[in-house]
Amino acid sequence: MSVAEEIKRLHELHQAGALSDEEFAAAKARLLNNQAAPATSNDISRLRRSRTDRWLGGVCGGLGRITGVDSWIWRLLFVLFVLTFGFGLALYILLWIFVPEDELIGN
């Protein structure tokens, strides 16, 4: 999305009352100064399975590292997803397969 489109979107949110005058001015200044929030794709591309903080595949340890949330909370969320929605195990296995493992430092 271009800067002009972002400013237009911010203006629409401001007109709708979702942003206060101060929030609109701050967001517009960030856009104009090229200080927009960093894209989450950068964080996702840094995702690696942990070699040290792991119970099974290291997925929760890796998620904990890039999000700043303790890995035990991620483990609890995966267990809750398995028990309530049923897709937690499939999601964990897919992450285990497709997310690369940490590189060993010192090799």
pLDDT in tens, the chain (107 residues): 677 888 888 888 889 888 888 888 888 888 788 654 554 455 667 788 888 888 888 888 888 888 888 989 998 998 998 898 888 888 888 888 988 888 766 55
Rounded to two decimals, what is the model's pTM?
A: 0.54
Strand partners of residue 49: 101
Q: What is the CA radius of gyration of the chain?
A: 19
